[in-house]
Amino acid sequence: MAQQRMGRIQWGDLQFGPGSRYHVTAVNGLDDMPEIRAEDINRPDQHGDYTGPDTTGPRVIQLGLGLRADSPDELRDLTLALRAATQPQRQSAPLQFLDQDTLVYGKVRQRNIPYDAENLWSTGTAALELYCADPYLYSLDERIASTTAYSPAAGRTYPLSYAGVTELINSVLNPSAELDVSNIVAYSSAGTAPTIAQATPGFGARFGVDTNLVTWTASGTGGARYTLGTSYAAGTAVRASAYVYLPSLTGVSAVNLMFFNGATLLSSVAATTPPAATWTRIEGNYTVAAAQIVTHIGVRLTTTAATTMHLDGVMASTGTTTQPYVDGDQMGCIWDSTPHASTSRRIAGTDRVYGDAGTSGRLTAINLGASPAYPVLRLDGPVANPSIEQVTTGGGITLDGTLQAGEFLVIDTRTRAVLLMGSSPRRSWVRAGSLWPLLMPGENEIAYRGTALPGAPGQTSQLTVTWRDTSL
């Protein structure tokens, strides 16, 4: 919940404020209005001006810090860490005001860490100035809403049948490290072994409030091994997944899922390098080989430098398809025994809700900020000539193109980038006369339409809208 007191501030791997060695003594420019760029012109031969729309320039935020150490040497360490974290930047980076639910993107343009020989022992001061080319204030959490397309050509049949949801068991005993890190052990196959600890991160856990923090003090290959409450016999297809948060990618070459019999590694799959500073779900399958048994799963990282990795929402189940994360704290799920120390399951026949007939193809996006928000739109095929209409304001965008099954298109309404599969430009698909949709403060109704491809019995294309509450 947002609060008036400044609280914690996160910049990269450093946290300022309560619980840290960097006390926040002053913040300027966060709640101030940036400089106005007025479009006023004189009225010839009359008093006054003709006035146009007011827009703002960049935002400048100044932070005052007090460094508190237990010795002069520790104070020097704090100074060097602050200096390393505030180097010149190519791109803006997030500055998070964790207790005020506010995020800005900025670059450090000024850093002042004075040396006071008369008073210096274990305390010091620092001042930072950040230049925010984008002056908007955003909420920390991204909001997401989605809908399938409505196609007049294909139509939809109501009422839709309801068959319920099949039971699904998560065999991981301590999947989100909410109470402790029991049933989780460090694993190493090369180099320095990491340490395992329960953490309450400032950027927020993926589920609950805590994560499993895996820490390397030097290079190494290893991670964490999770105990399963159900062993998987030979011939069983096992689906494993975990949510991974890497504060930094320095030295990181790959992240893998692993399958074990006790401490013996049987297989590693799903090699990938997730992006930094965001929760990413990695998934992989393993069919247990003859004469083998799977009793543990794990997550392995290969690093050439000291680093950390947060793990949350670890899951193991039978099958080969993606499933929503399950633990006993989730809606429609239960613990089979002791919470966070037993297997958990999704109860059959839950977790499916149908809206009123005729609502297909529409969603409501609520911007709790005071300024228009620029949404990111993702369209998943199959669909031809899709269109997104901002019903509330009358804006909308129509695309002259086709997405096959498995293809998707990402539209960033701020930069006006249109990228097929997230990388190939398709700006030419935007039909002339389109008005790029914005999410105004309050409720916004979005309609999604498209034409079903030949041979498709219904419209399965989906629109996903992602945004942050936005203010100035």
The verdict on 273 and 306 lying in the same domain is: yes
Can you give the residue range of the structural domain that contains 462?
Answer: 143-160+355-471
**Which of 294, 311, 346 is the endpoint of a domain?**
346
Residue 354 pLDDT: 40
Q: Which of 141-150, 298-307, 328-337 has the highest mean pLDDT?
A: 298-307
Q: What is the pLDDT of residues 406-440, one digit of tens each?
A: 899 999 999 999 999 988 999 999 999 889 999 99
99-136 CB burial, b ≥16 within 10 A, e <16:
bbbbbbbbbbeeeebeeeeeeeeeebbbebbbebeebb
**Which of 328, 346, 364 is the endpoint of a domain?**
346
The verdict on 439 and 390 lying in the same domain is: yes
**Would 2 be classed as within a structural domain?**
no
CATH number at residue 430: 2.60.120.860
Strands 93-97 and 102-112: antiparallel
**Would 329 be classed as within a structural domain?**
yes
The verdict on 82 and 47 lying in the same domain is: yes
Residue 160 pLDDT: 41
* CB 461 within 8 Å of CB 386: yes
Task: Please determine, for residue 157, whether its predicted confidence score (pLDDT) is greater than 50.
Answer: no
The verdict on 202 and 321 lying in the same domain is: yes
**Would 29 be classed as within a structural domain?**
yes
- Least confident window among 18-22, 295-299, 372-376, 457-461: 457-461
The verdict on 181 and 285 lying in the same domain is: yes
Task: Please determine, for residue 63, whether its predicted confidence score (pLDDT) is greater than 60.
Answer: yes
The verdict on 275 and 422 lying in the same domain is: no
**Would 4 be classed as within a structural domain?**
no
The verdict on 264 and 323 lying in the same domain is: yes
CATH number at residue 221: 2.60.120.260
Mean pLDDT score of the chain: 88
The verdict on 148 and 117 lying in the same domain is: no
Q: What HEC string does the chain produce?
A: CCCCCCCCEEECCEEECCCCCEEEEEEECCCCCCCEECCCEECCCCCCEECCCCEECCEEEEEEEEEECCCHHHHHHHHHHHHHHCCCCCCCEEEEECCCCEEEEEEEEEEECCCCCCCCCCEEEEEEEEEECCCCEECCCCEEEEEECECCCCCCCCCCCCCCCCCEEECECCCCCCCCCCCEEEEEEEECCCEEEEECCCCCCCCCCCEEEEEECCCEEEEEEEEEEEEEECCCEEEEEEEEEECCCCCEEEEEEEEEECCEEEEEEEEECCCECCCEEEEEEEECCCCCEEEEEEEEEEECCCEEEEEEEEEEEECCCCCCCCCCCCCCEEECCCCCCCCEEECCCCCCCCCCCCCCCEEEEEECCCCCECCEEEEECCEEEEEEEECCCCEEEEECCEECCCCEEEEECCCCEEEECCCEECHHHECCCCECCCECCEEEEEEEEEECCCCCCCCCCEEEEEECCEEC
Would you give the distance in Å from CA 236 to the centre of its chain?
A: 32
- Least confident window among 156-160, 177-181, 360-364: 156-160
Q: What is the mean pLDDT of residues 76-90?
A: 94
**Would 1 be classed as within a structural domain?**
no
The verdict on 227 and 261 lying in the same domain is: yes
Residue 165 pLDDT: 62
Task: Please determine, for residue 153, whether its predicted confidence score (pLDDT) is greater than 50.
Answer: no
The pLDDT confidence band at residue 448, using thresholds 50, 70 and 90, is very high
Q: What is the pLDDT of residues 274-311, one digit of tens each?
A: 899 999 999 999 999 999 999 999 999 999 999 999 99
The verdict on 186 and 331 lying in the same domain is: yes
* CB 233 within 8 Å of CB 177: no
Q: Is the peptide bond prior to 159 cis by the omega test (within 30 degrees of 0)?
A: yes
Alpha-carbon distance values, 12 to 26, 87, 96, 248 (Å)? 19, 11, 9, 8
CATH number at residue 61: 2.40.30.200
Check residue 45 and give left, alpha or beta (phi > 0: left; psi -120 to 50: alpha): left
Q: What is the mean pLDDT of residues 10-25?
A: 93
Q: What is the mean pLDDT of residues 62-91?
A: 93
- Least confident window among 150-159, 214-223, 435-444: 150-159
The verdict on 375 and 330 lying in the same domain is: no
The verdict on 383 and 459 lying in the same domain is: yes
**Would 3 be classed as within a structural domain?**
no
Work out how many domains the chain is built from and give that number: 3
Is the CA virtual torsion 322, 325, 330, 335 positive or negative?
positive
**Would 96 be classed as within a structural domain?**
yes
Q: What is the mean pLDDT of residues 435-456?
A: 87
Q: What is the pLDDT of residues 333-366, one digit of tens each?
A: 899 999 999 999 988 764 344 434 444 688 999 9
Q: What is the pLDDT of residues 28-57, one digit of tens each?
A: 999 999 999 988 899 998 999 999 889 999
The pLDDT confidence band at residue 166, using thresholds 50, 70 and 90, is confident
The pLDDT confidence band at residue 456, using thresholds 50, 70 and 90, is low
* CB 105 within 8 Å of CB 12: no
